[in-house]
A and B are shown apart, each in its own frame.
Chain A
Amino acid sequence: MRADGVPARDHHHATEDAPIVLLSYGYSGAEHVQNLLATGTGLACTSSTGIIPLCQAAAETWQRVEGHAGEAMSRLAVSTLRGLVTAQVTAILAGAGESRWCELATANPGAAQPFLRAFPEAAFVCVHRNCLDVIRTGVAASPWGLYGQGLGSYLLLYPGNSVAILAAYWVNRTEELLNFESVNPQVTCRVRYEDVTAQPDEALAGLRSWLRLGNPCRNTLTEDVDYSGPDAEVARSAASEVPVELIPIPLHQRINRLHAELGYPPLSEATKD
C-alpha cells in the first residue's frame, strides 16, 4: 500500500457494482474526496447512514445468539446481514437513481469488519489528513466547544484544551484506520486529503481505476464541483496556527510516529511555516 492513492500490486480490482466505503474521521475533508470521486460517475453517495455500525451491532447480536466467541460469523448470520443491508442499499440506489453505493463512514473502522464479511467484494478507501489540519478545522467548526461532535470521552480527557482533545481523537482514529488497512490490504486503498486537493487528477487516477469508476471528463468536474478544493498551501499555513505546545508530549510523540507513516512532516517542522 502506498501513501499516494495508488493501490498496491496485490489489490483485487473491485467489481463495477461493489459497494465503496470511505473510512475516515471527523474534520478529515473526506466529504470533499467523496464528491470528487463521485463526480461524473453513477455513484449514489451517502454519509454516516449508520449502516456500518448497524452491521457491527447485528454481528455482535448474532454472535451472542449463536454462542460464537471472537469475531467469527456463521453463514446464516452473514447471509442475513447481507440481505438486511442489500435491502437498505437498494432503497438508497432507487432513491438516487444511481447504480452503485458509496458510503462515507466516520465510525470506528473496526465496525467495518462485519460489513466486509457480508460484502467481501466491497472496496474501502481510507482517507487521512494531517493532524494539525484536523485540529484547526475541528476548532474552527466548533467555536463554542466540541460538545456534540461525536468526541465523547475525549472531551473528558482534556477539558478546556480543544487542541489536545482533537489530537487524541486523531491519534486513536488514525491508528484504527491504519490497523484496518493493515488487516485488509487487498480491499483498502489509502488516500491523503492533501494529495486529492492539490492534484486531484493524479491522486485519484489509480483509485478510480481500482474502483472501476472510469475517468470523468474535466468539464463535468469543473461544472459541478469546486474542483480546486481547499488550497493545500492555505491548509499548510493554517495548520501552523495551531498551538502544538498544548498537545501533551505522549500524544505529540504518537502524532509524529503516525505522521511519519503517512508521509507527513513531524509537528515541529509542520509549524515552522
Chain B
Amino acid sequence: MLRFLLDAHPELACPPETNLPGLCAQLATVWSLIEGAPLSANRGDEPPEVPEAAIDGVRRTMDRMVGSYLIRRGKKRYCDKSLGTARYAELLMRVYPESRFVCMYRHPMDVISSGVEACPWGLNGYGFEPYIAVTPGNSITALANFWADNTSATLAAEERFADKCFRLRYEDLVDDPEGAAAGLFEFLGVEVVRGISEACFSAERERFGPADHKIWYTSKITVDSVGRGWSIPATMIAPHILVVVNDLAGKLGYLTVDTDWGTTEPPTDLRVPVAAPPPDTEVTTATSGAVREDDDTPVEAEGTATEPPVREGARDSGTTTASCGPLRSQRLGERLQAGLAASSERAAREDWQPHGNETFVVVAITKGCERPAEYWLVDLGAATVTSVGREAQDSSDWDIIGSAYAWDQVIDGAVNFSVALRSCQLRYCDNGDSTVATADTRISMTAHLLGLVDWQ
C-alpha cells in the first residue's frame, strides 16, 4: 500500500520489492574484498569497514540500475520498499547520503495475523524461514520474533538517523490516508498531491517482483485489517519474546499485549490514546481520535461532540440498551435459551457437575459502531439466558468469545465448533485456574446448549 502511494506520485518511482538494499550489502562485500579491506569474521556477513572505494563502486552499480528504471518510468526520484531494509541503513546512507527513510510500523499482533493469513500451509517466504526454524510448529512466536527483530532494526535506524527518518504507522495511514500521504510527501520534499490515496489504485502498477499478495485485489485504503490480531492466541508467544515485543510496542505508541488479549471485545484503537487535555481547557487542535475524559466521545477542533467515527472496532460505552435496535446475535441468544430449556434436567446430571450451576458469558463481537459486542449471560443454575453488558464478564465463571459471524457459522454447521475453537474464531476464557478437563466439560456444555451434538 505504501509502495502504491509512493509510486503514484508524479515524481516518485517505487517498484515492487527489489531487495536492492540487500544487493548493496552484497556488492559492498565484494568491493571490499577487491579493495583488500578486512572481511567479517563470520562468512557472509558484511565487512566491518567498507572502504570509500567500495562505496563508490556500489554507487556506480546502483546508479545504473536505478537510473535506467527512472528513465523508463519517466520519474525523478527512486523509492525502494524491500523487506529488512533497516539493517542496511548505515550502508545506504554512505552510498546515498541524501537518502530519506520511511519507517513503517504496524501493531505486532496484526502483523502476526497477516503473516499467518499469508502462509496458511506453514511460514514460508517473506523472510520468515529463519524464525520458524527456531520455533518449529509455533508460527505465533516465530512471527512475534520476526516483528521484534525488524522493529528493533527500524527503530535503531530511526535513532541513528533521526533527521532522515519519517515514522509512519500503518494504523495512521489507513485511518487518514490523505493526511499521512501529505506528511510523507512533505518530508520527502515533493509536492503534496490531493486525492492520491484513491488515485493510487486507479493505474496499473508494476508487478515484476514480490509484494503484498493482497494488494493487487485492493481498490481502496480501509481500516478493515486493523485489529485482526485480536484473535491471535497471545499465550503462544514465548514470554521472553513477549517482553521484547511489548517494550517495542510501547515505544511506538501501541497497546501492549497481556494475558487478557483477545478475551474481551476488541479495543477501539490499537494505538495508545492521546492524553486528554484538562476538562476546562479549550481544545484547539484537531486530533483524530482525541477523547475527552468525561464521556469518551470524540471531539472536533471546535470542541463540539460528534457521533463516534464509523469505524470497525469502536468500543461501546457500556451496557446494552434497547435503544440500539435488534441484536445482531439474537439467534445465538435464542439457541442458548432453547438449549437451556431442553437441558433443564441436564444441569443436575453428573456429567455437568461441578459446573452445572455456573454462569458464563457468550460474547458475539459485531463490530457495529454503537454496539461492537453483544453479551449473553447464561446462568445454568437459574436456567436463564439474558442479554447483558460487558461488565457481566467481571463476575462470570467463564466466557466464550467470538465474532457474530463465527457464531453464525457454527450454528449453521458451516464451521465445526471444535475447529472454530482451535482456530480462535471462538475462544474459551476462564480465570486461569481450571484444568483441561474443566474446560472440556464447559465447552461440551456449550455445544449441547447450542445443539451441536457432534462437536469434537
Contact = CB atoms under 8 A, between A and B. Distances in A.
Interface of A: 31-32, 35, 139-149, 151, 155-156, 158-165, 224-226, 229, 242-243, 246
Interface residues of B, number: 29
A162 B136 CA distance: 10
Given A143-B116, A161-B121, A229-B454, 10 more contacts: A31-B456, A35-B454, A141-B422, A143-B423, A144-B424, A145-B137, A145-B138, A149-B137, A160-B133, A164-B122
Nearest to A142: B422
The 10 closest A-B pairs by CB, nearest first: A147-B137, A162-B122, A226-B454, A145-B139, A155-B136, A155-B137, A160-B132, A147-B138, A159-B136, A146-B137
Contact of B137 (A31, A148, A243): A148
Contacts of A164: 122
Interface of B is mostly: loop
A144 B124 contact: no
A35 B453 CA distance: 11
A144 B122 contact: no
A125 B341 CA distance: 39
Contacts of A35: 454
Nearest to B232: A144
Contacts of A156: 136
Given A144-B116, A159-B129, A160-B122, A32 B139 contact: no
B153 to A, nearest CB: 21
Contact of A162 (B121, B140, B418, B422): B121
B181 interface: no
A144 B128 contact: no
B297 to A, nearest CB: 37
Contact of B121 (A149, A163, A224): A163
Contacts of B135: 145, 147
B233 interface: yes
Contact of A160 (B116, B120, B124, B140): B124
A155 B236 CA distance: 16
B142 interface: yes
B419 interface: yes
Interface string B134-150: 01111110100000000
Contact of A144 (B138, B453, B454, B456): B138
Given A31-B456, A35-B454, A159-B133, A139 B138 contact: no
Contacts of A229: 454
A84 to B, nearest CB: 23
